[in-house]
Structures are given as C-alpha cells and as structure tokens.
Amino acid sequence: QVQLVESGGGLVQVGGSLRLSCAASGRTVSSYAMGWFRTAPGKDREWVASVDWSGGSTYYGKSVKGRFTISRDNAKNTVYLQMNNLKPEDTAVYYCVADPRFVVPTIETPAPNYWGQGTQVTVSS
C-alpha cells in the first residue's frame, strides 16, 4: 500500500551535517504520519523523529532533540531529516516509516506499519 525509499545517507565527520530524504508513494500516504527510526550495530531499533500528516506537529527522541529536524512536503510526497552536529553514536541504518496512526512509540502503537529499506549513515571520528 505504501512504498518508502530513503536517500541521502553517507559518510560524514563528527560535527557535520547530513540531510536524508524519503520519497513516499501510495494513494493515502499524504494522510499518514511519517518518521524515522534507526538501528545501530548490536543495538535495538530507536525511534528518531516523527511528523504528523499535516506537517504541523513534530516529535523527537531525546537523543536527537535540538540537533535533528524533521519536515515533510506533501505536494512532493517527501519527508526529510536534517541532521546537524552529528556524533559517532548517530551511526546507524536510518529507516523512513509511515503509518496512519503512529506518531511516537507507545504501548498501543509500538511501531509503524510501513518501513523503507534503510540508508546507512556513518559518522567518523
């Protein structure tokens, strides 16, 4: 029903910036909340950020708040993640996600339904 394709990952030095993009397709994707998760080697998946369907409300995980910015352009069916002041612990595979209800992880909705293939972000020190 929904296809998500991430791009923009790569190698960046500590303190640098990187912008991820996620192109979404699907008839109802513009009405879905969207966001980003990440998975570092040997660690559990971590919720990074989310934006509601309108783009009017954004939410961030504690580890990235103040450094990352999520936004969306529904006309282009694209969501972005601007990552600034990158740290080595930001190294992970980043996944674009979408869901009609998911905004932030909760017991009732621990994870979104739709996931992209992931894009690697490596922060070198």
Return the top range by mean pLDDT from 1-5, 75-79, 108-112, 119-123: 119-123
Degrees to nearest 5, angle at CA 93 with 91 and 94: 105
Kindly report, residue by residue over 19-61, the tens digit of the pLDDT. Answer: 999 999 988 788 999 999 999 999 999 999 999 998 999 999 9
pLDDT (mean) for 109-122: 94
Kindly report, residue by residue over 52-96, the tens digit of the pLDDT. Answer: 998 999 999 999 999 999 999 989 999 999 999 999 999 999 999
- Which candidate, 122, 120, 93, places its Cα nearest to that of 14? 122
Q: Give the pairing type, strands 3-7 and 78-83.
A: unpaired
